[in-house]
């Protein structure tokens, strides 16, 4: 595997892991007193959870923590987050490369 593809793959794995961490934070959180700093950190680590918020409401309205729907939902969010992080990794790889040849002016 090429070095650039490994970098992109590592970014994707980081996105999948961050979605798993956010899911576990939601699983372990006490619903009676929400901690807004943890919610903000979760949205920053897992932007797919914010992008897929309409899916949360529309399809999995009754998906409570610990149900099968909850895990299906977070599997979809994890894959979407891995895709977002892979795009960030591809941009990083693209910006890291130096242009070849003389600059056209």
- The number of folded domains in the chain is 1
pLDDT-derived band at 78 (thresholds 50, 70, 90) equals very high
Q: Is 101 within a domain?
A: no
The torsion defined by the Cα of 50, 53, 60 and 67, in degrees rounded to 10, comes to: 20
pLDDT-derived band at 7 (thresholds 50, 70, 90) equals very high
pLDDT recorded at residue 87: 96
Q: Is 43 within a domain?
A: yes
Domain around 24: 3-96
pLDDT recorded at residue 63: 67
**DSSP labels, 15-83:** HHHHHHHHHHHHHHS-TTS--HHHHHHHHHH-HHHHHTHHHHHHT-TT--TTSHHHHHHHHHHHHHHHH
């Amino acid at each position: 595997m090429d070095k650039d593809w490994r970098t992109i793959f590592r970014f994707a794995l980081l996105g999948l892991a961050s979605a798993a961490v956010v899911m576990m934070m939601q699983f372990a959180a006490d619903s009676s007193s929400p901690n807004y700093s943890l919610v903000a950190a979760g949205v920053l680590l897992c932007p797919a959870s914010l992008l897929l918020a309409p899916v949360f409401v529309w399809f999995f309205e009754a998906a409570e923590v610990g149900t099968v729907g909850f895990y299906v939902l977070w599997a979809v969010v994890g894959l979407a987050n891995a895709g977002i992080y892979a795009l960030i990794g591809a941009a990083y790889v693209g910006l890291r490369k130096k242009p070849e040849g003389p600059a056209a002016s």
